[in-house]
């Protein structure tokens, strides 16, 4: 039996003539905090629903720890928990009753973990209130608590911080970080770059149902050629130093500064060379281009087919991260 | 499979107990026999053209039997549809279907747990209506011996047994209505559509029975089976309408439950 938490191959979901998910391949390895990143409507939720066996793919396969949620149904969700879109509960039942029900549906000794789960999301004090009176943030936390009842090895979370206020978002991230540190594999969908950057080590970026990048976030960042702006006491002399320096490209004077493209280590070496040439550095600024630009390029720019975007080095178009 | 079904069944009942709409139907099931009995106590007249209508002042046991004829037209199918039509669709509308489907139970277990809960609610409303009618009826017209449809008289205790057995026979078509309700609830994913759809189905079946040229269909109409209990009130007991009702109702109920099950098993849970 395969121990890979998530293996999706060639997943397709069509609704009539609309292709919501278009040949998605995803591999989440044990211990990953995997970010599934894309704008709203890109097919993230539909993909997660197929992984949880809630909807049937038009084509393709999903394996969770080697088991098939589409053929086996809930039996394949052994060790898997999570939610898609906002977690929903019975509004006329209390939070504790809702969790007791989920635990009963989980079977085994899940019932013994109700109080512990409530405590871990800090809802113990409100456990006897009906969920109908809960705020969005409390429901999100209850969603996590319901997932924890299953003692999952894999947690699938769909936009867990969406709709939360800044404090709630921070709490949610702290909670996910803690769960990941406890050894849980997490697949987290999001349209929030900051969230993915903070939490995830591997990402898939999805656009219009297709994966346009899959790989380690660190590779994405490392391969990003950054642009810098440099101001010195003598820009004309500095430009010559830049041109002579290995790893610096496209150096030219733009207004009061020199603009160039380089990676971080080349910039470090340049600073030494400048000082050796008796030039004083007044300012050295990375251009403000970010992962966001990269994301926008990937998700809004050319059609996915036109983006040549290997997971390795080279052709990353983004700037400083 | 079975213990999972029972788990769902138990929690479905707990949810019904926590829901206001549950009591709406039960309230109607209790209020109608009460109102009927109070009216009888205040007036000396009696319902005409209804089996046992002429005995309502002689024996309280005639009152639940008269109510069975009245209730079959609309009331009990309505109460049944109220819960059966809601039991799957409400989860669709609240988005909770995805919540319970991502636990450890199979879809089939969830479905049949819900079917059992809908049938239980139907049984509860039947017992409530009948129980209130027996008690209130006996208080107003006395717990007396009952004249059967064959003109013979049975003792009050034997009469009570026959009345209770009549409720049992009456439940056969009512259960079929419940199964149609659950099926529509699954297929339409909309509570209102399923509740109204169930009632419209019952009314349409009734309508077919009065169409000229289609009279031969009458014995096979679901709504006709609501009179099958009258076989118990003959002496000797006429079992023919009861066995007939059993298989006719099965022809309505079993395909409904299979269709609902297959749809529930294969459907995409995309809402919520």
Q: Does residue A21 lie in a domain region?
A: yes
CATH code of the domain covering residue A228: 3.30.70.100
- Residues A57 and A181 occupy one common structural domain: yes
For chain B, the residue count is 272
Do residues A133 and A90 share a domain? yes
How many structural domains does chain A have? 2
- Phi-psi label, residue A59: left if phi above 0, alpha if psi -120 to 50, beta otherwise: beta
Tokens 């029975």 locate to: B209
Query: Are A184 and A232 part of one and the same domain?
Result: no
Q: What is the mean pLDDT of chain B?
A: 94
CB B56 within 8 Å of CB B142: no
Q: Please check whether residue A60 is in contact with residue A46, taking contact to mean a CB–CB distance below 8 angstroms.
A: no
Residue A45 distance to chain B (closest CA, Å): 9
Residue B271 lies in a domain: no
B262 touches chain A (CB under 8 A): no
Residues A115 and A29 in one domain: yes
Helix B75-84 × helix B107-141 angle, to 10°: 150
Residue A310 lies in a domain: no
**Residue B214's pLDDT band (cuts 50, 70, 90):** confident
Alpha carbons A57 and A49: distance in angstroms, whole number: 9
Residues A49 and A126 in one domain: yes
Q: To 5 degrees, how large is the angle CA B20–CA B24–CA B27?
A: 125
Domain count, chain B: 1
Chain B positions touching A93 (Cβ under 8 A) are 14-15, 18
Could you list the pLDDT tens digit for every one of the 321 residues in chain A?
A: 568 999 999 999 999 999 999 999 999 999 999 999 988 888 999 999 999 999 999 999 999 999 999 999 999 999 999 999 889 999 999 999 999 999 999 999 999 999 999 999 999 999 999 999 999 999 999 999 999 999 999 999 999 988 888 888 888 899 999 999 999 999 999 988 888 888 999 999 998 899 988 988 877 766 566 788 899 989 989 999 988 888 888 888 888 899 888 877 888 888 899 999 998 899 988 775 566 666 776 777 644 433 333 333 333 333 333
Q: Which residues in chain B are contacts of A92 at CB distance < 8 A?
A: 15, 18-20
Q: Which residues, including other chains, have CB under 8 Å from residue A300's CB and lie 6 or more apart?
A: A39, A207
Where in the sequence is the domain holding A110, given as residue range(s)?
6-221
CA pair distance B121, A160, nearest whole angstrom: 37
Summarize pLDDT for B61-71 with one digit per residue, the tens. Answer: 999 999 999 87
> Does A34 map to a domain?
yes
B 6-25: CB under 8 A from A: 7-8, 10-11, 14-15, 18-20
> If you search the block for the tokens 């000396």, which residue do you land on?
B44
- Å between A56 CA and nearest CA of chain B: 6
CB contact under 8 A, B106 and A74: yes
CA distance linking residue A151 with residue A214, whole number of Å: 28
- Do A217 and A228 fall into the same domain? no
**Is there a contact between B81 and B181 (Cβ–Cβ < 8 Å)?**
yes
Nearest CA in chain B to A106: B104
A232 lies in the same domain as A214: no
For residues A121 and A250, membership in a common domain is answered with no
In a domain, A87, yes or no: yes
Q: How far is A27 from chain B (nearest CA, A)?
A: 21
Residue B138 three-state SS: helix
Domain carrying residue B55: 2-266
Residues A108 and A170 in one domain: yes
Chain A CB within 8 Å of residue B258 CB: no
Q: Tell me, what DSSP letter sits at residue A94?
A: B
CB-CB under 8 Å, B15 with A93: yes
What angle is formed at CA B87 by the lines to CA B105 and CA B220, rounded to 5 degrees? 110
- Looking at the partner chain, which of B14, B99, B268 has a beta carbon nearest the beta carbon of A55? B268
C-beta atoms surrounding B75 within 10 Å: 19
On whether both A188 and A42 belong to a single domain, the answer is yes
Do the chains contact at B101 and A93, CB–CB below 8 Å? Answer: no
> Sign of the C-alpha dihedral, residues A69, A75, A78, A81?
positive
**Residue partners of B153: CB distance under 8 A and separation at least 6:** B145, B146, B147
- Residue A261 has φ and ψ, to the nearest 5°, of -115, 135
Whole-complex ipTM: 0.91
Handedness of CA B26, B28, B33, B35 (dihedral sign): positive
Tell me, yes or no, whether A109 and A232 share the same domain: no
- Residue A321 lies inside a defined structural domain of this protein: no
Residues of A in contact with B11 (CB under 8 A): 101, 104-105
Of A46, A53, A105, the CB nearest to B7: A105
The three-point CA angle A103-A108-A111 to 5° equals 35
State pLDDT tens for residues B175-210. Answer: 999 999 999 999 999 999 999 999 999 999 988 888
Q: Which pTM was predicted?
A: 0.86
Q: Is A175 found in the same domain as A41?
A: yes
């Amino acid at each position: 039996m395969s121990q890979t938490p998530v293996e999706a191959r060639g997943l397709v979901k069509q609704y009539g003539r609309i292709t919501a998910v278009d040949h998605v391949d995803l591999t989440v390895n044990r211990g990953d905090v995997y970010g599934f990143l894309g704008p709203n409507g890109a097919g993230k939720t539909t993909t997660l629903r197929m992984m949880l066996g809630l909807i049937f793919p038009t084509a393709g396969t999903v394996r969770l720890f080697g088991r098939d949620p589409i053929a086996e149904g809930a039996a394949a969700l052994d060790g898997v928990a999570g939610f898609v879109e906002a977690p929903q509960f019975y509004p006329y039942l209390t939070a504790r009753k809702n969790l007791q029900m989920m635990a009963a549906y989980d079977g085994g000794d899940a019932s013994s973990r109700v109080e512990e789960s409530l405590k871990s999301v800090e809802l113990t004090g409100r456990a006897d209130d009906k969920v109908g009176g809960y705020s969005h943030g409390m429901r999100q936390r209850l969603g996590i608590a319901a997932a924890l009842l299953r003692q999952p090895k894999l947690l699938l979370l769909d936009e867990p911080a969406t709709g939360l206020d800044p404090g709630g978002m921070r709490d949610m991230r702290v909670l996910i970080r803690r769960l990941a540190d406890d050894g849980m594999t997490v697949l987290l969908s999001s349209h929030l770059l900051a969230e993915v950057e903070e939490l995830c080590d591997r990402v898939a970026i999805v656009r219009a149902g297709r994966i346009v990048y899959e790989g380690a976030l660190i590779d994405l960042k490392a391969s990003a050629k950054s642009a810098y702006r440099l101001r010195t006491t003598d820009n004309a002399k500095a430009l010559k130093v830049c041109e002579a320096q290995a790893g610096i490209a496209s150096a030219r004077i733009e207004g009061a500064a020199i603009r160039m493209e380089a990676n971080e280590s080349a910039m470090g070496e340049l600073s030494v060379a400048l000082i050796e040439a008796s030039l004083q550095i007044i300012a050295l600024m990375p251009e403000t281009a970010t992962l966001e630009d990269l994301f926008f390029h990937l998700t809004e720019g050319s059609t996915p087919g036109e983006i040549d975007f290997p997971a390795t080095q080279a052709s990353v178009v983004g700037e400083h991260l | 499979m079975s213990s999972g079904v029972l788990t769902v069944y138990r929690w479905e009942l707990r949810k019904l107990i926590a829901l206001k709409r549950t009591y709406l139907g039960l309230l109607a099931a209790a209020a109608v026999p009460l109102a009927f009995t109070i009216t009888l106590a205040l007036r000396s007249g009696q319902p005409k053209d209804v089996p046992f209508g002429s005995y309502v002042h002689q024996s309280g046991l005639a009152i639940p039997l008269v109510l069975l004829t009245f209730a079959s037209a609309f009331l009990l199918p309505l109460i049944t549809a109220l819960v059966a039509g809601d039991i799957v669709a409400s989860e669709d509308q609240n988005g909770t279907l995805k919540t319970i489907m991502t636990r450890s139970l199979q879809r089939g277990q969830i479905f049949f747990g819900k079917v059992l809960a809908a049938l239980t609610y139907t049984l509860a409303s039947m017992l409530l209506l009948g129980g209130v009618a027996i008690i209130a009826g006996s208080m107003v017209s006395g717990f007396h011996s009952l004249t059967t449809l064959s003109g013979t008289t049975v003792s009050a205790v034997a009469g009570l047994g026959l009345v209770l057995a009549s409720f049992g026979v009456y439940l056969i078509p009512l259960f079929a209505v419940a199964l149609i309700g659950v099926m529509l609830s699954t297929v339409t994913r909309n509570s209102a559509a399923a509740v109204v759809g169930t009632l419209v189905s019952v009314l349409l079946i009734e309508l077919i029975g009065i169409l000229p040229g289609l009279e031969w269909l009458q014995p096979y109409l679901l709504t006709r089976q609501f009179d099958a209990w009258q076989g118990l009130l003959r002496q000797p007991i006429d079992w023919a309408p009861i066995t007939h009702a059993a298989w006719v109702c099965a022809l309505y109920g079993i395909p409904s439950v299979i269709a609902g099950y297959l749809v529930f098993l294969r459907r995409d849970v995309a809402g919520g």
